[in-house]
C-alpha cells in the first residue's frame, strides 16, 4: 500500500492556530519527524504532505497546515494555501490548546460547508491546570467532546487513530472503476495509443489502475496499441466483453469494434470514479449550445509541458473549433489552478483527474453547480463530439 498513488489516499488535514502543536501531533501520530517543530509561531509555512500507511486506516496522507491566525502579508498567503487544502480534505483535525476557539469555529464552519467531518483535539493537556474544565468549555461551544492529547508525551494518539477509523467514508477504500461492467472470467481488451503523450517506458496511472482492478476481478486482460487492434481481435477466439480505450481513439476503436463488444474509455471510467458522471453527462449537452461568442475552460490535473498532440490543449480545442467555429475562446488551466469565478464560461471540460482526490474533484463540481456552469470531462466530451456518447458504456 505504500505504492498507492496520493490521489487514492485518504487526506487527513490538521488545522489550528499557530503554535497549537499541529506539527508535533503529526510527528507523534506517525512516529516520524514529518514537520519541523519549533516554539516560534508560524514555523509551518506551505502545507506539508506525508503519505503514510496507518494500521486500521490504510493508505492516507497527513497534511500539516500553517496557523489559521497567521498575520501579515505572508500570513495571508499562507492562510490562502490552507484554505486550498480544505478542497481535498476527507477528515479534518481541529487542534486547540485552550477554550478560546472562536477562530477555530469559523474554520470548522467552512469545513462543514464542504461536508468534511471534524475531530476536535485538545493538545498540550499535560500543561493545563484544569484540562477537564477546558474540555467542557470546548464541548459547550462546538458540541463535541475534544480528544485530550499530549503530542509531547505521545498520549491520546491511539484514540485519534480510532476516531479517524470510525469516520472513514466507505467509498474511500471500496469505490471501484468498473462498477458492474465486467464479471469474473470475462475478456477485456485495452486499446492504448502510445503517442507523444505516453510516458516512455511506463503506462499512465489510469491504465495501471484499470489493469490492476481487472486482474483483481479475475478478468482476462488483453492489451494492444490502436494500430494492432485488428490483429488482436483476430487472435481472440471470441469478441471481448468490453473494450476500454483512450478517449482520443474513440472514433477509430468504435468503427473497428465487434458488434457485441461494449466500449468505454479510461476517462469515462474516471468520470464516475472521481466525479459526478450524471452532471458530466448533462454538462455535455452544453456543447450543442456553444457559439463562437462562447468561452470554454479546459482544466487538467497534470502539470506538464504542452506537446503537439496534447489532448487538452490541442486535440479537444481543435474538435470544438471544428464544430463551433474558429472564434470560440478556450482557456486552459492545469494543476491546482482553477478560477473561483466560473461565470465567464459556458462550459468547463475537466480531465479524468487521476492525480486528484475524489473530494477535490467534487468540490470543483460543487463550485460549478453553485454558479450554474455546465461541466463535463474529456471522455464524455470527446464521445459527444464524435457522435457516439449514446453508444459507450457509462457506470453510475
pLDDT in tens, 258-283: 999 999 999 999 998 888 999 999 99
- Are residues 166 and 27 part of one domain? yes
Domain stops at, among 206, 237, 268: 268
Q: Is residue 180 part of a domain?
A: no
* Residue 166 pLDDT exceeds 60: yes
Q: Is residue 1 part of a domain?
A: no
User: Per-residue pLDDT tens for 66-111?
Assistant: 888 888 888 888 888 898 899 899 999 999 999 999 999 999 999 9
Length of the chain counted residue by residue: 396
Q: Is residue 318 part of a domain?
A: yes
* Residue 36 pLDDT exceeds 90: no
- Are residues 156 and 302 part of one domain? no
- Grid cell locating 42: 508560524
Continuous segment of H or E residues that includes residue 263: strand 262-265
Q: Is residue 220 part of a domain?
A: yes
**pTM for this prediction:** 0.78
Judge contact between 351 and 300, C-beta under 8 A: yes
How many structural domains is the chain composed of? Answer: 3
Number of neighbours of residue 166 by Cβ within 10 angstroms:
11
* Residue 44 pLDDT exceeds 70: no
- By C-alpha distance, which of 138, 157, 156 is closest to 146? 138
Position 108 scores a pLDDT of 95
Residue 102 gets the label, from left (phi > 0), alpha (psi -120 to 50) or beta, of alpha
- Are residues 260 and 280 part of one domain? no
Domain stops at, among 209, 241, 268: 268
CA 251 to chain centre: 28
* Residue 143 pLDDT exceeds 80: yes
Query: How many CA atoms does the CB half-sphere of 283 hold within 13 Å?
Result: 29
Q: Is residue 203 part of a domain?
A: yes
Judge contact between 160 and 27, C-beta under 8 A: no
| Terminal Cα distance for the chain, rounded | 27
- Are residues 262 and 206 part of one domain? yes
Q: Show the domain range for 243.
A: 187-268
- Are residues 253 and 286 part of one domain? no
Amino acid at each position: 500500500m505504500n505504492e498507492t498513488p496520493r490521489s487514492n489516499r485518504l487526506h487527513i488535514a490538521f488545522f489550528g492556530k499557530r503554535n497549537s502543536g499541529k506539527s508535533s501531533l503529526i510527528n507523534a501520530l506517525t512516529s516520524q519527524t514529518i514537520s519541523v517543530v519549533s516554539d516560534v509561531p508560524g514555523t509551518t509555512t506551505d502545507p506539508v504532505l506525508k503519505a503514510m500507511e496507518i494500521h486500521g486506516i490504510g493508505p492516507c496522507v497527513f497534511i500539516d497546515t500553517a496557523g489559521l491566525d497567521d498575520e501579515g502579508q505572508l500570513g495571508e498567503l499562507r492562510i490562502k494555501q490552507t484554505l486550498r487544502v480544505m478542497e481535498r480534505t476527507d477528515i479534518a483535525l481541529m487542534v486547540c490548546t485552550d477554550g478560546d476557539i472562536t477562530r477555530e469555529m469559523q474554520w470548522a464552519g467552512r469545513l462543514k460547508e464542504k461536508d468534511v467531518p471534524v475531530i476536535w483535539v485538545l493538545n498540550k493537556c499535560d500543561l493545563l491546570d484544569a484540562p477537564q474544565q477546558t474540555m467542557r468549555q470546548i464541548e459547550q461551544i462546538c458540541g463535541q467532546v475534544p480528544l485530550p492529547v499530549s503530542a509531547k508525551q505521545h498520549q491520546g494518539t491511539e484514540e485519534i487513530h480510532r476516531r479517524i477509523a470510525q469516520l472513514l467514508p466507505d467509498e474511500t477504500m471500496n469505490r471501484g472503476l468498473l462498477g458492474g461492467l465486467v464479471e469474473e472470467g470475462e475478456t477485456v481488451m485495452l486499446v492504448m495509443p502510445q503517442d507523444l503523450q505516453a510516458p516512455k517506458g511506463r503506462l499512465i496511472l489510469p491504465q495501471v489502475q484499470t489493469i490492476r482492478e481487472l486482474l483483481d476481478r479475475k478478468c482476462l486482460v488483453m492489451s494492444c496499441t490502436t494500430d494492432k487492434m485488428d490483429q488482436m481481435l483476430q487472435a481472440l477466439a471470441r469478441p471481448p466483453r468490453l473494450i476500454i480505450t483512450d478517449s482520443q481513439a474513440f472514433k477509430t476503436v468504435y468503427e473497428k469494434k465487434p458488434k457485441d463488444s461494449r466500449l468505454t474509455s479510461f476517462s469515462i471510467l474516471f468520470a464516475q470514479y472521481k466525479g459526478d458522471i450524471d452532471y458530466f453527462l448533462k454538462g455535455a449537452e452544453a456543447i450543442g449550445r456553444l457559439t463562437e461568442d462562447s468561452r470554454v475552460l479546459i482544466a487538467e490535473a497534470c502539470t506538464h509541458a504542452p506537446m503537439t498532440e496534447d489532448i487538452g490543449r490541442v486535440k479537444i480545442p481543435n474538435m470544438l473549433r471544428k464544430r463551433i467555429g474558429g472564434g470560440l475562446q478556450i482557456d486552459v488551466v492545469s494543476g491546482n489552478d482553477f478560477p473561483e469565478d466560473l461565470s465567464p464560461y459556458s462550459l468547463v471540460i475537466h480531465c479524468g483527474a487521476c492525480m486528484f482526490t475524489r473530494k477535490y474533484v467534487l468540490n470543483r463540481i460543487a463550485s460549478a453547480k453553485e454558479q450554474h456552469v455546465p461541466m463535463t470531462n474529456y471522455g464524455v466530451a470527446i464521445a459527444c463530439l464524435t457522435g457516439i456518447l449514446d453508444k459507450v458504456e457509462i457506470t453510475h
